[in-house]
Amino acid sequence: MKKQTKLFRAAAILAVAAAALALGNAKAWAQGATAAPFSKVTVSDDVAKRTLMKAVINADAARAIVDSCIEWQKAQPGNVSVVVFVLSPTGEIIDSHKMDGVLPIGVETGLMKAKTALYARASSATVAQRFNTVDARLIRLDLGKEQGLAYYFVPGGLPIVVDNQLIGAVGVGGGNADEQCAYQALQKVLGPQPPLAQATPPSAPASMPAPQLQR
């Protein structure tokens, strides 16, 4: 009987420890006003020695951002589907997810938004605000293509910055609140983020209507 009691107690202790560990892992990302540590969200020192790059978002953090964005989107009304991309600072896809129902153009624009954030070191909404005339946009449409980057003038792409270091970018496409989806995910995983840019509609000559950009 005593042996069974000891075994029961040991099992209970292990169960509590496992639950605490799981809870700790779930809460190991940013908490409230505390930012996630640079070392936690970037590649390990061993990986950095092989790749000669340390300021790169790691796979776990990228997956957490994707999952958080999808979770946020599913909680919104309207049953809207999105696609999420997380890129490395050099443009490679580290993680992504496409919800059922996203059209091909939504996938392409989601990736372009992430590339825009990498290229401009700013949100795609900020880029749209900075270049808000038809002429200003037309002369930039082909910029960055040789580097695999892009200019795309629609909100939904955000740079991923930790300790003043660009470690990647996130782009969301196909929805009606793409930038908020990305922003809420970054806040949940990385902690407080800079305020979002207040996007302005594109300007156009009176004789020419502003182009309708796809999300």
For 112-153, write each residue's pLDDT tens digit: 999 999 999 999 999 999 988 888 888 888 888 888 788 899
pLDDT at 20: 42
Would the pTM of this model clear 0.85, i.e. be above it?
A: no
Q: Domain of 13?
A: 1-30
Q: Are 85 and 108 contained in the same domain?
A: yes
Closest CA to 159 of 195, 125, 122: 122
For 141-189, write each residue's pLDDT tens digit: 888 888 878 889 999 999 999 999 999 999 999 999 999 999 999 999 9
Q: Are 95 and 5 contained in the same domain?
A: no
For 81-124, write each residue's pLDDT tens digit: 999 999 999 999 999 999 999 999 999 999 999 999 999 999 99
90 found inside a domain = yes
DSSP 90-151: TS-EEEEEE-TT--HHHHHHHHHHHHHHHHHTS-HHHHHHHS-BHHHHHTTTTTTGGGT---
Q: What is the CATH number of the domain that holds 56?
A: 3.30.450.150
Q: Which residue has the tokens 């590339």?
A: 115
206 found inside a domain = no
